[in-house]
Amino acid sequence: MSQPQQQPLLYQQQPQQPYGYNQPGYVVYGNTSEGAHHSDHHHHSKDVTYSIIFFILGFFISCLWLVNIKYLKSHEHSARGFAIASLVLMNKAIKFLTQKESTFMDELLLGPKYGFTSDQLMELAGLSVSSAVLKVYPKSEYRNVLTICGPGNNGGDGLIASRQLVGFGYNVSIYYPKRSSNDIFKRLLLQSELSGVHILSELPENIEDKYNIVIDAIFGYSFNASTGEIRAPFDSVINRLNHINQEKTPIVSVDIPSGWDVDVGNVKNTFVPKLLVSLASPKKCAQSFKGTHYLGGRFLPDAFASQWELNLPPYPGSEQCVDITNCQK
C-alpha cells in the first residue's frame, strides 16, 4: 500500500528575525502566498499607525515651541516673553505668598538647612532691584535717582540697590530719615557713601524737578497696613509720594509698595508704583497690581522652590531679574 501523501510543512521554528519579516520568529515555506500577504499587510498597518502617532507627537511639540516663540516675539522685553512662554508650557501659575508664608520662608533660608545670612539676602535683593531699574529705566533718560529707605531690611535693599546703580552710571541720592543702629545697616550706609551716593538730610520739596526716578524702599512684608498705622516720619513721606506725578518721575517699589497690606493690597489708598520688583516670590498684594512687575532673587535653591511649589519662571541667561508683568496669577 502506498503511504499517505505528506502535507507541505508550512512553518518551521527558526531563530528570531528582525522586525518586519512576516511573523517574528518564523520563516514561511510552501504555498503560503495568502498568509504572507496577510502578514505583510498586518505589519504594514502597524508601521503606518506608528508613523501617524510619531507625526502627531512631533506636530504637538512643534506647536508648543511655536507658542514659545510667539510670546518671545510679541513682548517688548525678551525676559518677559521668556517667562510667560515658560509658564504657558508648564501650565502653572506663580505662587503669591502671604505675610506668614514670607516670614516663614525667610526663617528657613536664614536657618541651618540653607545657611544664608541676612546681609547676603539683602545684597542679592539689592542687585535684583538695581538690575530691574536698569532694564526698565535706562540711565540715558532716567539718570537721577532718589531712594527713600526705611529702618528695616527693605531699607537695606534700597541702600544696596543705590550703590549698585552708582556702579551702573546713575546719580543716586538717599533719604534715610530713621536709621537703624544695627551694624549691618551702618556698614551698608558707609558703603553707599564711599561709592558716591549722596546722603540727604531732608526730603527735597521739588522731587519731580530734581529726580527722574524714586525708589520706594520704606516698608517690606513685615508691615501690616490693615492693623498698623503709618507713623512719623514716614507718614509725611508717603503722603508726598501720593502726590508725585509719575508720568514725569515714576516710583519703583521694592517687594511691597509702602503702605500696602501684604495680603490684601492697597487698603489705605496710597500711591501705586509704576514698577514693582518682587523679591524671591511675589506677595499676595501684587495680584491686584497693574503696573510693570519684575521678579528678582535668583538665589533660591531648586529644592526650596520645589518644596514650596513656587512655580517660578526661569531667569534668562545670566539675568538677575525677570519680567512677570503678564504672567498668570
263 is in an annotated binding site: no
- What is the DSSP-derived secondary structure letter of residue 204? -
Tell me the DSSP string of 263-306.
Answer: TTB-TT-----SEEEEESS-BGGGGG--SEEEEE-TT--HHHHH
Of 229, 191, 138, 260, nearest to 278 (Cα)?
Answer: 260
Contact by Cβ (8 Å): 129, 252:
yes
Helix axes 153-167 and 183-195, enclosed angle (nearest 10): 20
91 is in an annotated binding site: no
Helix axes 78-90 and 33-73, enclosed angle (nearest 10): 140
Of 244, 160, 251, 233, nearest to 197 (Cα)?
Answer: 160
58 is in an annotated binding site: no
Which pairing describes strands 251-254 and 213-217: parallel, antiparallel, or unpaired?
Answer: parallel
Q: Bridge partners of 12? A: 27
Question: What is the rounded CA–CA span in Å between residue 251 and residue 244?
Answer: 8
156 is in an annotated binding site: yes
Cα angle 156-160-165, degrees, rounded to a multiple of 5: 145
Q: Which residues are annotated as a binding site?
A: 153-157, 216, 255, 258
Q: Which residues are annotated as a binding site for (6S)-NADPHX?
A: 153-157, 255
Q: Which residues are annotated as a binding site for K(+)?
A: 154, 216, 258
